[in-house]
Amino acid sequence: MSTEGLWVDGNAIAGLLRELFGAELTATERGCQTCGAVNCLGAHRVYRGAGTVVRCPVCGDIALRITSLPDRHVVQLTGSWSLDMPRT
C-alpha cells in the first residue's frame, strides 16, 4: 500500500473542528502562508496519527496540528486564517 491513500479530507474532522471552535468550519476558507492557495478546510488534507495534522492541499504545508489528550486538546494554527462564522 502506498502512503498516498493514508490521508482523508478536512470533512472528516468536521466534528472535532466544531468541538474546538464552536462552529461549522469545513466550508471556511484558509489561505496558505507558503503557496498562497486559498481552500476550504473541507478540501484540506488530514493525516491522523498520534495527533491530527491538517495540510494545505496544494503544497502540503501544515495548517493546523491537534493533539488530543485525555482531558484537553492542544491546538497549533499556522498560516493565514479567515474565519467566516455564524453569529449565535
Partner 1 sequence: MWRTVTVREIVPETAHARTILLDVPGWPGHVAGQHVDVRLTAEDGYQAERSYSIASAPETAALSLTVELFDDGEVSPYLVEELQVGDEFEVRGPVGGYFIWRVQDGGPLFLLAGGSGLVPLMAMLRHHAAQKSTVPARLLVSSRRLDDVLYRDELADLDGHDAVDVSLTLTREQPPGWTGFGRRVDAEMLTAVGPGPSEQPQIFVCGPTAFVEFVADRLVELGHAPDAIRAERFGPTGE
Q: Which residues bind partner 1 (CB under 8 A)?
A: 1, 4-12, 14-16, 18-19, 24-27, 40-43
**Residue 77 CB, nearest distance to partner 1 (Å)?**
19
Q: Are residues 41 and 55 in contact, defined by beta-carbon separation less than 8 angstroms?
A: no
* Nearest residue (CB) to partner 1, 40 versus 62: 40
What sign has the CA pseudo-torsion 80, 34, 54, 25?
Answer: positive
* Nearest residue (CB) to partner 1, 23 versus 62: 23
What grid cell was written down for 63?
Answer: 495548517
**Residue 53 CB, nearest distance to partner 1 (Å)?**
15
